[in-house]
């Protein structure tokens, strides 16, 4: 049997641009699931996944390497940053399905559908705001907020993980576009 290697959607980052107050970095592989269902499903899935699913829309809950983002009235994105191998991902699916049992729901593996980019630094929000039409000041978009939005011509999920840190989840074929666009923006924010 031949060696089967993963090819991430984004290559490893190059040297960060000197003097630029933002870092853009592709994040390692992770297991991701879209969970759809009602409150009964939420409770069951939270126990199995390892972090209680948020019940307030556009918020994320994180415990260790497990995060759950509520993106719609019945939609959660589950992210397991500690899981990427097929066996482990499959085990997680089984654990979740087993916990959910007969509760009506939809659990779909989207680990490879999308990839993630970390945007971090003093100018993270400014950089994103070249392409993201949302108010990213901390009052309006606090740490822990996550939402589906656009990055110029690509759809993304934007998740604030820290005062100066964001995680962008983007479908794999759009990832180079988002990376190149944000990278172009990050390099132009030199002091006037």
Partner 1 sequence: MTVSFRTASGGRIDRDRTIRFTFDGTAYRGHPGDTLASALLANGVRLMGRSFKYHRPRGVLAAGAEEPNALVSVDRGGGRWTPNLRATQVELHEGLVATSQNRWPSLSHDVGELNDVVPPGVFSAGFYYKTFMQPASAWANLYEPFIRRAAGLGQAPSQADPDHYTHRYAFCDVLVVGAGAAGLAAALAAAQAGARVILCDEQAECGGGLLGERDAVIDGVPASDWAASTLATLSGDKRVTLLPRTQCFGAYAQNFFGLVQRLTDHLPHPDPRMPRERLWKVRARQVVLATGAIERPLVFPENDRPGVMLAGAARAYVNRYGAKPGDRAVVFTACDSGYAAAHDLTAAGIVVSAIVDLRPGPDGPVAATARGAGLDVRSNAVVTGVEGRLGVRAAMVATIAGNGLVGPSERISCDLVLMAGGWTPAVHLHSQMRGKLRFDAEREMYVPAAPVEGSRSAGACNGTFGIAEALAEGFSAGADAARAAGREWSERDWSPVVSGEIVPDGGFHGAVPHDRDVQKVKAFVDFQNDVTEKDIRLAVREGFRSIEHVKRYTTNGMATDQGKTSNMNGLAIAAGSLGKPIPEVGLTTFRAPYTPVTFGAFAGHSRGDLFDPIRRTPTHDWARAQGAVFEDVGMWKRAWYIPRGGETMHAAVLRECRTVRETGGLFDASTLGKIEVVGPDAAEFLNRLYTNPWTKLETGRCRYGLMLNEAGFVMDDGVVGRLAPDRFHVTTTTGGAPRVLAHMEDYLQTEFPELRVWLTSTTEQWAVIAVQGPNARAVLQPLVADIDMAREAMPHMSVREGTICGVPARLFRVSFTGELGFEVNVPAEYGQAVWEAIWAESQKHGFCAYGTEAMHVLRAEKGYIIVGQETDGTVTPSDLGLDWAIGKAKPDFVGKRSLARPDMLKPDRKQLVGLLTVDPAVVLEEGAQITAEASPVKGTAALGHVTSAYESAALGRSIAMALVAGGRSRLGETLYVPMPNAAIAVTVVEPVFLDREGSRLDA
Binding site for partner 1 (CB under 8 A): 1-9, 29, 34, 36-37, 74, 86, 90, 104-114, 126, 129-135, 137, 140, 152-154, 171-174, 176-178, 180-181, 184-185, 187-188, 190, 192
Q: CB of 165: closest distance to partner 1 in angstroms?
A: 19
Smallest distance from partner 1 to CB 40, Å? 12
- Nearest alpha-carbon partner for 72 in 117, 32, 35: 35
The single-letter DSSP state of residue 173 is: G
Shortest reach from residue 25's CB to partner 1, in Å: 18
Task: Please report how close the Cβ of residue 154 comes to partner 1 at its closest, in angstroms.
Answer: 5
* 3-class secondary-structure state, position 150: strand
What is the C-alpha separation between 64 and 173, in angstroms, rounded?
29
Give the residue with the Cβ less far from partner 1, 64 or 82: 82
- Classify residue 143 by its DSSP letter: T
Task: Indicate the residue among 13 and 176 with the shorter CB distance to partner 1.
Answer: 176
Total Cβ atoms within 10 A of residue 173: 12
By C-beta, is 2 or 14 nearer to partner 1?
2
Cβ-contact 127, 185 below 8 angstroms:
yes
Smallest gap, in angstroms, from Cβ of residue 168 to partner 1?
14
Length of the chain: 192
Closer residue to partner 1, CB minimum distance, 64 or 171: 171
| Other C-beta atoms lying within 10 Å of the C-beta of residue 57 | 13
Cβ nearer to partner 1, comparing 82 with 180: 180
Tracing tokens 């399905």 back to the chain, one arrives at: 97
Q: Does residue 20 sit in helix, strand or coil?
A: coil
């Amino acid at each position: 049997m031949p060696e089967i290697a993963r090819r991430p959607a984004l290559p490893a980052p190059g040297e960060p641009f000197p003097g630029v107050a933002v870092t853009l970095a592709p994040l390692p592989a992770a297991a991701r699931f879209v969970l759809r269902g009602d409150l009964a499903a939420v409770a069951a899935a939270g126990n199995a996944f390892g972090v209680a699913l948020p019940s307030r829309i556009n918020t994320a809950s994180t415990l260790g390497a497990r995060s759950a983002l509520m993106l719609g009235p019945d939609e959660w994105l589950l992210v397991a940053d500690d899981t990427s191998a097929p066996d482990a991902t499959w085990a997680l699916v089984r654990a979740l399905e087993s916990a959910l049992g007969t509760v009506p729901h939809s659990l779909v593996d989207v680990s490879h559908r999308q990839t993630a980019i970390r945007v971090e630094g003093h100018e993270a929000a400014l950089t994103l705001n070249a392409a993201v039409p949302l108010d990213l000041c901390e009052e309006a978009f606090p740490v822990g907020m996550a939402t589906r939005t656009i990055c110029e011509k690509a759809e993304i999920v934007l998740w604030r993980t820290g005062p100066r840190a964001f995680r962008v989840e983007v479908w794999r074929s759009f990832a180079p576009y988002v990376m190149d666009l944000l990278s172009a923006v990050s390099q132009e924010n030199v002091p006037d």
